[in-house]
Amino acid sequence: MDASTVRVICFSKEGNVGACSGFVVGRGDYVVTNNHVLTAV
């Protein structure tokens, strides 16, 4: 499995922006990150 680090930037409907890191797994179909990354925005 090929993995590489990526920056994750999330935009909410309310205009909030959050950023963190994650990594791509497999053939690039998925980005893995912590649960708090997407729920914090």
Model confidence at 2: pLDDT above 50? no
pLDDT of residue 41: 46
Q: pLDDT for 13-22, tens place per residue? A: 888 888 888 8
Q: Where are the domains of the chain?
A: 4-39
Say yes or no to pLDDT of 38 above 70: no
Residue 41 · residue 25 · CB < 8 Å = no
pTM beyond 0.75: no
- Could you say which DSSP state residue 14 is in? T
**Helices vs. strands in the chain: H and E counts, helices first:** 1, 3
Contact 4, 23 (CB under 8 A): yes
